[in-house]
Amino acid sequence: MKKWILAAAISAALAGCAQHSSDSLALPEGVTLVEIVAADSAGVGIPYKKFQLANGLTVILHQDSSDPLVHVDVTYHVGSGRELPGRSGFAHLFEHMMFQGSENVADEQHFKVVTESGGTLNGTTNTDRTNYFETVPSNQLEKMLWLESDRMGFFLPALTEEKFEVQRETVKNERAQRIDNQPYGRMYERFSQAMYPAGHPYSWPVIGWPEDLNRAELADVKQFFQRWYGPNNATLTIGGDFDELQTLAWVNKYFGDIPRGPEVEALPKNQVTLDKDRYLSMEDKVHLPLIRMALPTVYASHQDEAALDLLANILGGGKTSLVYKNLVKEGYAVQASASHPCRELSCEMSFFALANPAKGGSLKELEGKVRASIAEFERRGVTDEDLEKVKVQFEADTIFGLQSVRGKVSALAANETFYGNPNMIAKDLQRYASVTKADVIRVFNQYVKDKPMVIMSVVPEGAKALVAAADNFTAPAPLLAANAVAGELKVSEAKSSFDRSVMPQSGKAPVLKVPTLWRDTLGNGIAVLGTQSAETPTTEIVIYLAGGHRLADVSKAGVAQLTAAMLNESTSQRSSEELTQALELLGASVQFSASDYQSEIKLSALTEKLDDTLAVLKEKLLMPGFKAEDFERVKQQTLQGLKHSQSNPNYLASTGFAKLLYGDNNALGVDATGTVDTVAALTLDDIKAFYQTQYKAGNAQMVAVSSAPKAALLSSLKTLDSWQGEATAMPALGQLPGLSGGTIYVLDKPAAAQSVISIGKLALPFDAIGEYFKAGLMNYPLGGAFNSRINLNLREDKGYTYGARSRFSGGSEVGQFLATASVRSDVTAAAVSEFIKEITTYNATGIRDDELNFMRNSISQGQALDYETPYQKAGFMRMIQRYNLNDRFTAEQDKIIAGIQKDEIDALAKKHLNINEMVIFVVGDKASILPELEALGYPVKDLVL
């Protein structure tokens, strides 16, 4: 019986039936059950079943019916580490190429199909693997398997020179945006050249060297795909709400015909060693000098990895660490930490610090303090609390990582890919739980003590005097290879036993599982909106205080965030280190922050530790220390961070655009962090005064998502009844400026590799079911989706950018429309022209019928994904609470989506998308971009922040 006939027969047999289990019915022909791992009520783990197809494809199924969605992940055991010297960047290039269509999937159809199905998708590449994934409503599973199988087995027939060139340009744009145009962007690739010998798989960047990308040819790309993207080098992992036997039949149908690829052998895990300390440095357009120090240790899953992780935590894992105490607490560094990142072939013990210029900014001094911290550990040793807190943290992080189907699928896929065993969670927990003090001391002596390091200094341009030491290392020239892969390739061509050109139909729409909400009020009047979620034994609580940045006078911009930062420091009872230690031992977090319209307190805890965590929150909230030494340190960190932000083009674009739209006379025109001048003028008395105004129970509302039932949770929350205070009135919004529409403003960032373009205007405040919501529907095909007009034009057709979008965003008082992209500097004016063309055309002609249908399907079906994790539930609940919405307001939105017609959307486009009402703001190299911008015919003005 052919595979597709078998699949159809199973599908018919299962119609109208309940879920079926693969261990109780005959498996499809060609599918072998490898193992079954059941849920362990006594421990933490992920139940799954593992299968293998005849062609070597590993299939892992994890059933979770808590939400009507599925997450599909295809992980290929190929990353940049499988590339040959001189042929770097191929794995990452394929991450892009594999979205460009295959033999039976048209250009751009992959994004369109997933998005129209209400799903999300992406792909990622690192040194060791590439993965592609989609999260969709459960009735779209077969369609996802069709898409993924077609690009695994039938990709090459659709690969053209044109697609290759467009995606090569897209990758170059990504590199420019993420590396060349970012502070410290080139540090990591230069550091890797010093850490690993020439030719080592980790010695070149994942994104590739530009010279290698320029040298690549279409034949190289095809050969690389044939070598590494076969089913026997892949793992298909599916998690969520699905019928197991039906899913296996689909998997066999769509993937079973794909021939096995070349055999894949594990790469050698040779220990990397350094002959001596290697110093290197670079000047960059940055404000804060940076030092990075690292030495090679073992590799992922090595028996000593866990002990080295614990060692890194003691050395530099937060406020209780030695590096924090000696560098940050003493004011020599704005930030500092130690970590032990591991990859398949190698791990590194890594130290990082951003120098505080107020203390001179000497990286030689910071290097000495890092080395002194290492020596202090040798004298100090390991305490019982060191071990306990790290083990508790690891277990808590593991549990919180199981809150989403994606998190569970990702863990299963990674463990299978690298270790051949999806069931690693219990083993990993045991690994960390069994580490002893002696183990930590042993690995310190074996891998860290007196071992050579790579020490890299990154300093502001013209500040070479700040480097840790003179360079004694120069990276050798990259090696070259004649071919993309080694040896001859013999790969069979895939031939399908059914008509793959027919896209599967969607299944019956799943029933949305909107959280069941409850309401109550604490003894002090704080409104609580809650829901019970029993998927993990955790509790997430967010307390929102109306006010935030808007509550302060514009002359004191930054006071809300600085006050929140101070509440993360000492109390009158305990130091910040003691409070951090207490939370670490609970596996919990309590964090204060502030944004434009509110201050927030976020609590994450294991439910069994909730009462103890709430006690810490209460102490921080009601007994702040407001110590002068904390204030001076936090203020200095904020100031240096603001100065550092001046080198970040995206920050400049955001703050400059806000200034244009909202002006200098109200809080919305100034970033919530403040400015250098406003923060410099803040005093400790300002912090105390804002605390008294903001942190009152009368300003607060609360949302809670917990595994505990309502009664138990409310009993725990009673501890906050003693928090008192009347609500504070919000001051009037300052006068908004008159916009000079149709004007181009330029902020000069000399020698910028890219220009950041922002086009927009003031727009509607938020409302969930009115014109604001409808304007968002109108914008969706223009710039709200990946396959929107703007993104397809600027990214896919022109190759100008890594991504372009537009959106409406609104607060309670006012909102904005913004279209934005980072583009190659040499096409700045051309990109602005294309933005104007797309907005103007949409304003004039409106939405097409196919775009209207696409928008309806995508947004309505996407609601199945909206309530999965505790924080997603909390966000949904907060919207209801903040804007006083009906619990079922999404049903009203569904009616609007289904009923809105072309004429109404076209009218909204005409009303809100007049380009002559918009300002155009460009952050870029003025000298090179100005002449062509002026040639567009719009007035051009300078903007100075």
Residue-wise pLDDT tens digits, 250-297: 999 999 999 999 999 999 998 899 999 999 999 998 999 999 999 999
Structure confidence at residue 490 (pLDDT): 72
Angle at 313 between CA 537 and CA 592, to 5 degrees: 55
Three-state secondary structure of 872-889: HHHHHHHHHHHCCCCCCH
Q: Find, among 144, 360, 166, 361, the residue nearest to 255 by Cα.
A: 144
Please give the DSSP secondary-structure letter assigned to residue 498.
S
> What one-letter code names the amino acid at 453?
M
Confidence of residue 512 (pLDDT cuts 50, 70, 90): confident
DSSP 155-200: -GGG--HHHHHHHHHHHHHHHIIIIITSTTTTHHHHHHHHHS-TT-
Neighbours of 866 (CB within 10 A): 17
Mean pLDDT of 128-157: 94
What sign results for the dihedral spanned by CA atoms 198, 199, 201, 205?
A: positive
How far, in Å, CA of 838 to CA of 800, rounded?
15
Q: Are 742 and 916 in contact (CB under 8 A)?
A: yes
Tell me the H-state helices in 231-335.
244-255, 305-316, 322-323
Average pLDDT over every residue of 387-401 = 87
Least confident segment among 16-25, 454-463, 482-491? 16-25
- Residue 16: the pLDDT is 34
Identify the band that residue 536 occupies on the pLDDT scale cut at 50, 70 and 90: confident
Residue 41 has what pLDDT? 58
Q: Over 70: is that where the pLDDT of 7 sits?
A: no
Work out whether the CA dihedral 549, 551, 552, 553 comes out positive or negative: positive
Q: Is 634 left (phi over 0), alpha (psi -120 to 50) or beta?
A: alpha
Q: Which of 198-202, 602-606, 759-763 has the lowest mean pLDDT?
A: 198-202
> Does the pLDDT value for residue 5 go beyond 60?
no
Reduced to 3 states (helix: H, G, I; strand: E, B; else coil), residue 695 is: coil
160, two tokens: 């053209």
b/e code 418-443 from CB counts within 10 Å (16+ = b)? beeebbbbbebbebbeebeeebbbeb
Residue 12 in this model has a pLDDT that exceeds 60:
no
Choose the weakest-confidence range: 174-178, 416-420, 548-552, 608-612. 174-178
Across 550-559, 606-615, 879-888, least confident range:
879-888
Q: Which residues are registered as beta bridge partners of 135? A: 71, 120
Averaged pLDDT for residues 102-116: 89
At 591, is the secondary structure helix, strand, or coil? strand
Interval 619-657: pLDDT, tens:
999 999 999 999 999 999 999 999 999 989 999 999 999
* More confident site: 871 or 911: 911
HSE-CB at 602 with a 13 A cutoff on CA atoms is 11
User: Edge-to-edge strands of the sheet including 589-594?
Assistant: 518-521, 527-532, 700-706, 538-546, 598-606, 589-594
The predicted structure's pLDDT at residue 567: 98
Q: Are 520 and 530 in contact (CB under 8 A)?
A: yes
- Are 796 and 832 within 8 A, CB to CB? no
User: Are the C-beta atoms of residues 567 and 621 closer than 8 Å to each other?
Assistant: yes
Q: What is the pLDDT of residue 25?
A: 57
Angle at which helix 425-433 crosses helix 384-400, to 10 degrees, equals 170
Q: How many Å apart are CA 88 and CA 81, to the nearest integer? A: 9
User: What band does 700 get if pLDDT is binned at 50, 70 and 90?
Assistant: very high
Residue 10's pLDDT band (cuts 50, 70, 90)? very low
What pLDDT is stored for residue 170 in this prediction? Answer: 84
SS3 of 617-677: the string is HHHHHHCECCCHHHHHHHHHHHHHHHHHHCCCHHHHHHHHHHHHHHCCCCHHHCCCCCCHH
Tokens for 514, please give them.
């909107």
Average pLDDT, the chain: 91
Residue 925 vs residue 483, higher pLDDT = 925
Residue 44 has pLDDT above 80, yes or no: no
CA atoms within 13 A on the CB side of 62: 28
Residues 460, 289 contacting (CB under 8 angstroms) = yes
Q: Which pLDDT band holds residue 26 (cuts at 50, 70, 90)?
A: confident
Strands (DSSP E) contained in 41-180 are 48-53, 58-63, 69-76, 120-125, 130-137
pLDDT at residue 660, as a whole number: 95
Q: What is the largest CA-CA distance in the chain?
A: 81
Lowest mean pLDDT among 136-140, 440-444, 738-742: 738-742
Q: Band the pLDDT of 14: cuts 50, 70, 90.
A: very low
Which residue segments constitute the domains of the chain, with CATH numbers given? 3-255 (3.30.830.10), 278-466 (3.30.830.10), 518-722 (3.30.830.10), 743-942 (3.30.830.10)
Tokens 């409104």 sit at which residue? 527
Please give the share of the chain, as a percent, with pLDDT higher than 70: 96
Least trusted range by pLDDT, from 279-283, 634-638, 658-662, 867-871: 867-871
| Per-residue model confidence (pLDDT) at position 487 | 62
Q: How many CA atoms lie within 13 A of 150 on its CB side?
A: 27
pLDDT for 101 beyond 70: yes
314-355 residue pLDDT tens:
999 989 999 999 999 999 999 999 999 999 999 999 999 999
Distance CA 254, CA 154 (A): 11
| Strands of the 130-137 sheet, one edge to the other | 31-37, 48-53, 58-63, 234-240, 69-76, 130-137, 120-125
pLDDT band at 23 (very low <50, low <70, confident <90, very high): low
Distance between CA atoms of residues 309 and 319, nearest Å? 16
Confidence of residue 66 (pLDDT cuts 50, 70, 90): confident
- The answer to whether the beta carbons of residues 155 and 101 sit under 8 Å apart is no
Task: Give CA–CA dist 702/543, Å, rounded.
Answer: 4
- Give the three-state DSSP class for 479: coil
CB 818 within 8 A of CB 744: no
Say whether pTM exceeds 0.85. yes
19 pLDDT band, cuts 50/70/90, is very low
| Structure tokens given for 350 | 């890594």
